[in-house]
Structure 1
Amino acid sequence: MNIGIDKMGFYSPHLYVDMNELAISRDVDPGKFTVGIGQEKMAVAPLTQDPVSLAANAALEILDETDQEKIDLVIVGTESGVDHSKSIATYIHPLLGLNPQARAFEIKQACYGATAGLQMAKGHIALHPDSKVLVIGTDIARYGLRSSGEVTQGAGAVAMLISREPRVLRLEEHHAYHTEDIMDFWRPTYAENAFVDGKFSNEQYISFFNRVWEQYKAASHLKLAEYEAICFHMPYTKMGLKALRTILEETDEANRDRLLANYEVSKTFNKNIGNIYTASLYLSLLSLLENQEGLPAGARIGMYSYGSGAVGEFFSGILQPDYQKQLHIQRHADLFASRKEISVTEYEEIFQQMLPADGSKADLAINEDPADIVLAGIEHHVRQYVNKKQ
């Protein structure tokens, strides 16, 4: 049975800060951020956007009435959930008008969560071929003002509809994965911002990639030359490139040039959004599909997922005929074009704004947010969401 990604949606807040301006304000050479790290703009989430609303907005653009009825499993991968008990998957159910006869839950394993959801969805469809699964990666990356990780913050979500006979990407049979208990990045329950051992995390990212790449080659008997492109989880856009370069000598110059060129295209969205944790790999895939016109149906796309702590996985998929018809290229172009640049001072003010820690009543200015789905406030410890289209 062919199983894979049938539709993809994406959403990011309407505000961003320019990396050149952030570098200047931090007394850093702008080239360190734009060239050394590979980031150009960083999405900034106002209080009216949280991981729930980001997830719902990403899914809203791809679901029709048939999908709403057929979806019987909703999986959300996140590492910035809003509740220790209740999942984001349950929050978004009424916002998207989904059939209540469905399972819904949240997965946590750093940036690997959405990939875990994708693989679980694949197994579910194999057992229930007539159903559909909604998988979403949604996150707001926070390291703290003036921290070493500040430049790799971001906010956004990617939604994927998984089904049999997919129209975008058919997932292939083989996959390789590896887990170790390491402390390269973590956020204790008492901390608002993450902790990271940057050098160690970079080393582990590449080490895990090399390990699962070798495992995948042994299982699939595929060579590097048989891949049109490889998409990577991108905590920052130079990270995936460092990993890719470790295997390029396995093929000839023409194939190396193609893989490098497609990598450059795959980072287009990521360098203008920043790190969105669980959705980062799938934002890279979407960037490749929507910005590289020459990708033929039947092309093989490799995928490397990494979640600190740590889990790594490599898998691949085959582009389907007329996959472009399922994309929302103009809508996403409009989303980027309509974003508003804010000053570093404005970014710092927004970053420090918090919802009441004691759950007391709060009303937010939702008319200032152009998104269809927003967080309107808190009342009696309950988050209040509004779908402006309902």
Structure 2
Amino acid sequence: MTVKVGIDKIGFYTPNLYLDMVDLAHARGADPAKYQVGIGQSKQAVIPPTQDVVTMAANAAAQILTPTIKTQIAMVLFGTESGIDNSKATAVYLAHLLELSPQTRAVELKQACYGATAGLQLAADYVRVHPQAKVLVIGADIARYGLRTAGEVTQGGGAVAMLVAANPQILELEATSSYHTADVMDFWRPTYRTEALVDGKYSTNVYLDFFAAVWADYQRQTKLTIADFAAFTFHLPFTKMGRKGLRQILPTATPEHQAQLTAAFEASQADNRDVGNLYTGSLYLSFLSLLRHGHLQAGQRIGFFSYGSGAEGEFFSGLIQPNYRQGFDDAGLTDLLANRRAVSVAEYEQLYNQQLSSDGQDMQLAVGQEQAPYYLAGRQHEQRVYRRQ
């Protein structure tokens, strides 16, 4: 008998600060509609120096882990393009912070915004062979393009934590997927830079081309069509990009089904619109937003388009499970997003420039106002110092 494998629990964390896109537009001399409608963003998370991808991942994972679950975790697969060390994996730091067993495999995965999807697929394959085990999959990033750059409006940050297990509560992953890789220079971040380089229009075109390619190949493999899907979720570096992807395939659906898919997309982009770009976590925040704001029923098929610049794309699918709402803390997530504090453009710029320096000097961060359970206290002897409240 084939074991059902998929996403059992999902958590999300972003810091308690955000920048309103209307304020940014006014400061940059732009029409707010350019950001709110043309890009499709309302707010973006602002990441204080006391949070990095490790602490945000820990804060997301803490929402879904219990002492019992911790003993069952066999692997931590951490997708990020915002790693803190060129050698030591973020997954190792995370496993230590979460006090997981030393008998845990911990690996960091990197391919732009695709890393968490690689982790999810590797995790599912592992659990199919080891159905008693659970795998913690992370997608955590800080999207930085630089102040007063064209990409500034598509910044953001946060972490999504997913528990992959047999007989999952939220989503059963279907075995078939389609993937496509090409050496494309649409977005890259050389080792000497903290901000990304991007050809925005070209990257959008590559994204759409990759979606068309993997969707066609998925249909060829499975013989499924758009009629077999209740919703599609997309990697959303900004919400308008996913909307363009959906519009590529909507004409193949009936008018009634087009309305259903459009409504599902609106639900899936709601939280991304208020957080901004998560890179590796973007697709999975979109899925979580669909779970929270959509109207789903058990057995419905959801399509996922994952894209990582450089470039790699994948389309896969999963089936909603009857008790999916028990796999995440809806009220807690609503409070997390609702209780954030708006910062001025001046404060945002100050925080942007307060990240740990690259010279390796000892540094003590101001942690007195930190509210998150896990945080970065500073650096000593060229080692990051993590703390738990």
* TM tier, smaller: over 0.9
Mapped to 2, the partners of 1:31 and 1:133 lie a distance apart of 42
Mapped to 2, the partners of 1:366 and 1:221 lie a distance apart of 55
Q: Which residue of 1 aligns with 2:145?
A: 143
SS at match of 2:24: helix
1:5–1:168 contact (8 Å) kept in structure 2: yes
Decide which of 283, 292, 303 is 1:290's aligned counterpart. 292
SS at match of 1:268: helix
Q: Which residue of 2 aligns with 1:347?
A: 348
Mapped to 2, the partners of 1:47 and 1:140 lie a distance apart of 11
TM (normalized to structure 1)?
0.98
SS at match of 1:130: coil
Deviation per CA, 1:159-205: give whole Å up to 9, x if none: 00001111100001110000000100000000110000011100000
Mapped to 1, the partners of 2:338 and 2:186 lie a distance apart of 35
1:48–1:364 contact (8 Å) kept in structure 2: yes
1:267–1:284 contact (8 Å) kept in structure 2: yes
Q: Which residue of 2 aligns with 1:245?
A: 247
SS at match of 2:319: strand
Q: Which residue of 1 aligns with 2:369?
A: 368
1:103 aligns with 2:105: yes
Q: Which residue of 2 aligns with 1:336?
A: 337
Decide which of 80, 89, 92 is 2:91's aligned counterpart. 89
Q: CA deviation at 1:19?
A: 0.1
Q: Which residue of 1 aligns with 2:381?
A: 380
TM (normalized to structure 2)?
0.99
2:365–2:378 contact (8 Å) kept in structure 1: yes
Q: CA deviation at 1:252?
A: 0.4
Matched letter for residue 322 of structure 1: N
Number of aligned residue pairs = 387
Mapped to 2, the partners of 1:262 and 1:15 lie a distance apart of 28
Q: CA deviation at 1:367?
A: 2.5
Matched letter for residue 75 of structure 2: L
Please identify runs of 4+ aligned residues in structure 1 that moved more than 4 A: none
1:176–1:215 contact (8 Å) kept in structure 2: yes
Deviation per CA, 1:305-338: give whole Å up to 9, x if none: 0000000000000010111122210000110121
Deviation per CA, 1:195-240: give whole Å up to 9, x if none: 0001110000000000000000011111101111000000100000
| Structure 1 residues 190-269: aligned runs within 5 Å | 190-269=192-271
Q: Which residue of 1 aligns with 2:311?
A: 310
1:70–1:99 contact (8 Å) kept in structure 2: no
Unaligned runs of at least 5 residues, structure 1: none
Unaligned runs of at least 5 residues, structure 2: none
Matched letter for residue 333 of structure 1: T
Mapped to 1, the partners of 2:338 and 2:371 lie a distance apart of 13
Q: CA deviation at 1:354?
A: 2.7
2:12–2:161 contact (8 Å) kept in structure 1: yes
1:23 aligns with 2:30: no
SS at match of 1:367: coil
SS at match of 1:353: coil
Q: Which residue of 2 aligns with 1:37?
A: 39
Mapped to 2, the partners of 1:190 and 1:364 lie a distance apart of 24
Mapped to 1, the partners of 2:368 and 2:6 lie a distance apart of 37
Deviation per CA, 1:2-49: give whole Å up to 9, x if none: 000000000001111000000010000000000000000010000000
Mapped to 2, the partners of 1:166 and 1:174 lie a distance apart of 18
Q: CA deviation at 1:356?
A: 3.0
2:64–2:328 contact (8 Å) kept in structure 1: no
Mapped to 1, the partners of 2:51 and 2:16 lie a distance apart of 10
Deviation per CA, 1:65-84: give whole Å up to 9, x if none: 12100101000000011100
Mapped to 2, the partners of 1:10 and 1:327 lie a distance apart of 9
Q: CA deviation at 1:254?
A: 0.6
Mapped to 1, the partners of 2:94 and 2:312 lie a distance apart of 27
Decide which of 186, 191, 195 is 1:184's aligned counterpart. 186
Mapped to 2, the partners of 1:92 and 1:366 lie a distance apart of 20
Mapped to 2, the partners of 1:354 and 1:94 lie a distance apart of 23
Matched letter for residue 31 of structure 2: D
SS at match of 1:48: coil
Q: Which residue of 2 aligns with 1:47?
A: 49
Mapped to 2, the partners of 1:333 and 1:72 lie a distance apart of 30
Deviation per CA, 1:127-154: give whole Å up to 9, x if none: 2111100000000000000100000000
SS at match of 1:79: coil
Matched letter for residue 150 of structure 2: S
Mapped to 1, the partners of 2:366 and 2:101 lie a distance apart of 30
Mapped to 1, the partners of 2:144 and 2:267 lie a distance apart of 26
1:111–1:277 contact (8 Å) kept in structure 2: yes
Once superposed, what is the RMSD of the aligned Cα atoms? 0.7
Mapped to 2, the partners of 1:368 and 1:87 lie a distance apart of 28
Mapped to 1, the partners of 2:330 and 2:242 lie a distance apart of 24
Matched letter for residue 244 of structure 2: K
SS at match of 2:270: coil
Q: CA deviation at 1:353?
A: 1.2
2:234–2:306 contact (8 Å) kept in structure 1: yes
Q: CA deviation at 1:358?
A: 2.4
